[in-house]
Amino acid sequence: MKKKNLAMSKKPWINHKSLAWSLIVSLLLTINLSGDIYYNGTDKIFHKKHMQNQVQQCDSIRCYVIEGAGYFLKAHAGFLDFMQEFELAGLHGLDFHVLQAKLDVAIDNLLAARDTYTRLNDITEVMSYDPVTRKRLMNFDYNKFVEENKLNKEIFNELKPLLKTGRVRMMYEKILTQIDEISAVAGLIREEIGAGISPQLVHLYRLNELFSRSLIEGQYAARVFQEIK
C-alpha cells in the first residue's frame, strides 16, 4: 500500500516548477510586508473606548487587530512550511504524517485568527466611527497613492470603496469571508492527505492565491491608515 501511495505521489511532479515559482512569489510578498502589515491602524476609525470584557488581556481594538494579524500571518507561514515539505517530496517522497502535522498547525492558527476577527467584529458592531478619521479617508488622494507606490490596481480598487467611505467593519467581515474560503480549500487538502493521496496542485495553487490576495489587501489598508494618521 505504501509503494502505491508513493507512486501516486510522484505523478503531479511534472509541474513542480510551477509550484516553486508560486511559493517564491508568495515568499517575496511576505518579505515585503514589514512593520504594521495586515490591517494595522484600522482601529483609528472607531471612537476610543475601554472595552468591558477583556479576553487574553486585550483591552483595546488595536490589540485584537494585532492579535488577529499575528495568527493570520502565522497560519500563512505554516502553510508555506507545509508546501515546502510537499515541494521537497519530489526528492525524497511524500511523508503523509509530516504533511498532516504541518497542515494541522497551520489550520489551528487560521481558526484562531477567525475567532479573533469574529470577536473584533462583535465589539466594533456597537461602536461609532470617528468623523475626523473618516473625513481624512474620504479626502485622501487614492489615485496618487496607487501611482506613487506602484500598487496592484485591481486589488486596490476592490478595497478602495471601503477605505473611501471608512467602512472598516466591512473589511473585518471580508477577512472572515477570506478565512472561510482558505479553510475550505485547506479542508480539501486535509482530506486528500488523510486518504493517503498526494494533494492536487490546483488546491495548493488556490490556497496560495487566496492567502496572497488577502495579505496584499491587508497591507494596502494598513498603508493608507499610516498615511492619514
Checking if the pLDDT of 186 tops 70, the result is: yes
pTM metric for this prediction? 0.79
Domain that holds residue 125: 2-228
CA distances from 66 to 16, 58, 218 (A): 35, 10, 12
Higher pLDDT, 185 or 90: 185
Give the residue-averaged pLDDT of 153-162.
96
Average pLDDT in the chain:
84
CB atoms within 10 A of CB 210: 19
Give the residue-averaged pLDDT of 131-153.
96
pLDDT tens digits for range 78-105: 999 999 999 998 888 899 999 999 999 9
**Dist CA 25 CA 116 (whole Å):** 28
pLDDT tens digits for range 206-229: 999 999 999 999 999 999 999 997
CB atoms within 10 A of CB 48: 11
- At how many degrees (to 10) do helices 153-164 and 168-194 cross? 130
- What pLDDT was estimated at residue 37? 84
Higher pLDDT, 167 or 34: 167
Number of domains present in the structure of the chain: 1
Q: What angle do CA 117, 119, 124 make, to 5 degrees?
A: 90
Nearest to 74 by CA among 111, 43, 117: 111
- What pLDDT was estimated at residue 97? 95
Give the residue-averaged pLDDT of 116-135.
93
Checking if the pLDDT of 11 tops 60, the result is: no
pLDDT tens digits for range 195-205: 999 999 999 99
